[in-house]
Amino acid sequence: MGKFNTIKAKNSSIRQVVFPRNGYGEKKLIVLRRKVNELYFQNGLTKNRIVQKHGVSKQFVITWTQSPTQDFTQDRRGWPHGKRRKWGVEDGERIRTIYGELQQNPLEFYCGATVIAQIWRKRYPELPVPPLRTIGQMLSEFGLSEKRKQGRNRGAAHYLCYPEYTIYSLFGGRVLEADFLGEKYLSGRTEPLNFIAFSFKKEPKLRYFQRVSGQTTAEFITHCQAFFQHVEKPDFIKVDNGLAVIGSASGKRNISKAMQFLLANQVIPIFAVPRKPFSQASIEGNNSVFARKFWNRRVFKSVSEVEEQLAWFNLASQRYTGYEQPNGKPKRKKNFMPKVYFIRQVREEPAETGEAGKAFVDILNEKVFLPPSYLNYFILAEWKLPEEKLYLWFEKEQTQNMINQVTFPINPRSKISFR
């Protein structure tokens, strides 16, 4: 629970306390008992006023206002201090045993509460499964849990109207995220290893990795094609703005080879915000899992060993998330509309251009201008290729508004093969 919040009462020096209602830990209960006692004996609040204003029960107030010198550390739970009410020593030993087996099994890469609960369910079908939180607490008590760094606050994405709801809820299809991982090196080998990662953020979730010969357009197409055939073909694929996928660094309004491939397979590309890793949060998180659970945890002696164990890792990830492939091959859509989406943050023209104050987004090396009121906000640009028009959408409180539309012709040098 969060910290106690304080507000100052009108015309009074009394500081009122807004108490959390559920899930007290032992230390917070002691603080709560003492505070109720102080409000009654020192600040002069009546018992009914404490109940009404601070969301605690009448019996709780009565119990802890017996005397100003009460012992607030009394344990009245009915079971020994420091012991769990339901889950005992035997349960802890089962958890410790499963954890040890997972650590020793070369085919396993996950050993946290989720996978332990999965194994418990199969191994002890007659016993209730401890909550994930209880399993995690026991692992921590045994000194077996991993400490992870807290992620940065992503509140700015919501504040600046990142179109999360539009992409994952209104598009009405499966959104796959894909990205090349940074180069990795084996001891004694100068040539780097490259990987591509795929991720489904929404249920059924999946993380999947493959080694590639390099971060090229040809490799992107090859491994996307394999993923579509052997795993699942999505409706949309969200990617970064690397040249291997988006194409030319200078040509305007080009349809890259990667875009053509995706659209020919009726998969609509969505390009994430440049230089904003949070806009690929799911895939970035999976890349972190790849590093922690696979690459940094084991010592590989050869490329073949990496590929063999990467196959094990993919299977372990599939078991961990409970992913199951869809039945049957997807049918081609009769009314498929070739389009491309771009998520962009509205920027301001610098003073040296002579157009300071103008707001714009860069779409395929073409500046599209918007009202200055949208500066710094995120917008979603929809390029409908048959119409050769660009529609710019702004999401606010899960509502979409079209703020501009412009003619956006396809570069005649682009070889269009998806019509």
Query: What is the full DSSP assignment across 196-259?
Result: EEEEE-SSSPEEEEEEESSSSHHHHHHHHHHHHHHT---SEEEE---HHHH--SS-SS---HHH
H helix runs in 42-186, sequence order: 47-54, 58-63, 89-104, 113-123, 132-141, 155-159, 164-165
Tokens of 383: 């390029």
Q: What pLDDT score was predicted for residue 54?
A: 78
What's the confidence (pLDDT) of residue 417? 62
State residue 365's pLDDT score: 93
Q: Rounded CA gap, 106 and 312, in Å?
A: 8
**More confident position, 156 or 406:** 406
Dihedral sign of CA atoms 23, 25, 26, 31 in order = negative
pLDDT at 383 over 70: yes
Per residue in 282-339, pLDDT tens? 667 778 889 999 999 899 999 999 999 999 999 999 999 999 988 888 888 888 999 9
**pLDDT-based confidence at residue 264 (cuts at 50, 70, 90):** very high
What is the rounded end-to-end Cα distance, in angstroms, of the chain?
A: 56
- The pLDDT of residue 161 is 87
Residue 10 clears pLDDT 50, i.e. is over it: no
- Integer Cα distance of 113 and 102 in angstroms: 12
Q: What are phi and psi of 5, to 5 degrees?
A: -100, 140
Q: State the Cα angle at 319 between 321 and 136, rounded to 5°.
A: 65
* Three-class DSSP category at 23: coil
Question: Mind listing the pLDDT tens digit for each residue in 48-93?
Answer: 988 887 788 888 899 889 988 888 877 655 555 556 667 888 999 9
Surface-to-core class of residue 235, CB atoms within 10 Å of its CB (0-12 exposed, 13-18 middle, 19+ buried): middle
Whether residue 87 contacts residue 94, with contact meaning beta carbons closer than 8 Å, is answered with no
What percent of the chain is predicted at pLDDT more than 90? 54
Q: How far apart are CA 26 and CA 85, in angstroms?
A: 14
Give the integer Cα–Cα distance in Å for 344 and 369: 12
CA distance linking residue 52 with residue 95, whole number of Å = 44
pLDDT of residue 146: 72
Which residues contact residue 173 at a Cβ distance below 8 angstroms, ignoring those fewer than 6 apart? 234, 235, 236
pLDDT higher than threshold 90 for residue 274: no
Cα–Cα distance, 261 to 243 (Å, whole number): 15
**Other CB atoms within 10 A of residue 242 CB:** 17
Q: What is the mean pLDDT of residues 126-139?
A: 91
- What pLDDT, on the 0 to 100 scale, is given for residue 43? 87
pLDDT given at position 13: 39
> What pLDDT, on a 0 to 100 scale, did the predictor assign at position 2?
37
pLDDT at position 249: 84
Instruction: Using the Cα atoms of residue 248, residue 215, residue 195 and residue 192 in order, give the sign of their dihedral.
Output: negative
- Read off the pTM: 0.73
Residues 6 or more apart in contact with residue 379 via CB below 8 angstroms: 163, 343, 344, 345, 346, 361, 370, 392, 393, 394, 403
